[in-house]
Chains A and B, each alone.
Chain A
Amino acid sequence: MTPGSAARATRAWEVERDTWQEAERPPLLGLIDRVERPADHSHTPLARTDEDVQARFKELADQWLTETGHLSSISQRVLNPSYQQIIGLGPQVVPCLIESLREGPQHWFSALVAVVGVDHAFGARTPSEAASRWVAWFDATTSDDE
């Protein structure tokens, strides 16, 4: 698959996802609720390698930081198209998000909740505490798999 066709497939899936969300979500939920339904990627017409996802994540994360790093509103930052596309990468992006958190707190908490479907840092008061909890959850989960 060429980068161009991958991008087209990703955009097609995003349109489908947005249509689905608009059709099925109650209208009065908060902004974050609109992006927090665990994504069903079983129908995604795109087979991506982990390397593809890592490269795409880095590209999107850099763009997102450039466009929103000076903003304080998490809702505004989460609604940025690059952040939405990171969420759209689905479960394969979780290791990328966790690796980023190992380097220090970063605002991937909403993305993790959206992709994983559970807030494993619920109750954490600070970004550092939430980052530690997500990393601990990931390490425990992956060690269980081994």
Chain B
Amino acid sequence: MMSSGIDLQTLFPQLQTDDYQITSAATRGYNCHAWAAGEDDAWWSPVNRAGLPIGGYYWPRGVPHDESLPALVQAFRTCGYAPCDTGELEVGLEKIAIYTDHARLPTHTARQLANGQWTSKIGEYQDITHDTLAGLEGQDYGRVACFMSRARTDAQ
């Protein structure tokens, strides 16, 4: 595990009014998209060299290697997620929220817990739980652009 001296409230000012909690140590082992898919052993990225993935990163087979929102949605479809209308808590459904920037490129994905809170992996820093999706909205992560859901299989 690596240490992190970063101040999340400086990076994400709207967390100041969100009852967020740090729930893991910082690690470069996985990122937010992997965490949203339920994985903690891969860094999801479409980064590539002449169409071939760069070693160290995971991207679902058959999904275009580009940074677009449709490509990320397709990537999450491989894990059973399908687009849905809202991030409202629904019994039996596990939801994710995809944030995009001003160019509509994905920046972050948060996953809803069974209690209605959201869990997010912050880049190569820690996991947090946060009450609202707005807590991470702002200059860097932009705004939530789409929701997806799948049947919940865990007891979280």
Distance in Å: Cβ of A17 to nearest Cβ of chain B = 18
Q: Is the CB of B67 within 8 A of A109?
A: no
Query: What residues of chain A lie closer than 8 Å to B47, measured between beta carbons?
Result: 32, 74-75, 78, 110
Chain B minimum-CB-distance residue to A70 = B123
Which one of A1-9, A51-59, A86-94, A122-130 is at the B interface?
Answer: A122-130
Q: Known: A72-B108, A127-B28. Is A33-B49 also a contact (CB below 8 A)?
A: yes
Q: Once the chains bind, are B65 and A122 in contact (CB under 8 Å)?
A: no
B50 at interface (Cβ–Cβ under 8 A)?
Answer: yes
Check B31 for interface membership: any CB of A closer than 8 A.
yes
Nearest CB on B from A68, distance (A):
7
Interface size class, chain A? 35 or more
Q: Contact between A68 and B123 (Cβ–Cβ < 8 Å)?
A: yes
Q: Look across to chain A and name the residue whose beta carbon is closest to the beta carbon of B124.
A: A69
Interface: A106 (CB within 8 A) = yes
Interface string of A92-110 (1 = CB under 8 A from B): 0000000000001111011
Q: Residue of A at shortest CB range from B106?
A: A73
Q: Evaluate contact between A32 and B54: CB separation under 8 angstroms.
A: yes
The count of chain B contact residues (Cβ–Cβ below 8 Å) is 40
Please name all residues of chain B whose beta carbon is closer than 8 Å to the beta carbon of A69 when the two chains form the complex: 4, 6, 123-125
Also in contact, A119 and B29, with CB within 8 A (given A32-B49, A70-B122, A126-B41):
no
A133 to B56, CA, bound (A): 10
Residues on A with beta carbons closer than 8 Å to the beta carbon of B32: 72
Say if the beta carbon of A135 comes within 8 Å of chain B.
no
Complex formed: what's the CA distance from A31 to B68 in Å? Answer: 12
Contact: A70 with B41, CB < 8 Å? no
CA distance A104 to B26 in the complex (A): 12
When the two chains form their complex, are residues A126 and B67 in contact, meaning their CB atoms are under 8 A apart?
no
**Chain B, Cβ-Cβ closest to A30:** B48
Residue A113 interfacial (CB < 8 Å): yes
A129 and B140 CA atoms in complex are apart in Å by 29
Interface members, chain A 11-43 (any B CB < 8 Å): 29-33, 36
Query: Are A130 and B67 interface neighbours, CB within 8 A?
Result: no
B119 on interface, CB distance cutoff 8 Å: no
Q: List 15 A-B contacts (CB under 8 A).
A: A30-B48, A33-B50, A71-B140, A72-B32, A72-B45, A75-B46, A105-B28, A105-B56, A107-B28, A110-B54, A119-B49, A121-B54, A123-B55, A125-B58, A126-B43
Binding site for B on A (CB under 8 A): 29-33, 36, 68-76, 78, 104-107, 109-110, 113, 119-131, 133
Hey, which bits of chain B sit against chain A, CB under 8 A? 2, 4, 6, 11, 28-29, 31-33, 41-43, 45-58, 65-67, 105-109, 121-125, 140
- Beyond A69-B124, A72-B45, A72-B123, 4 additional pairs, beta carbon < 8 A: A32-B48, A70-B122, A72-B33, A74-B54
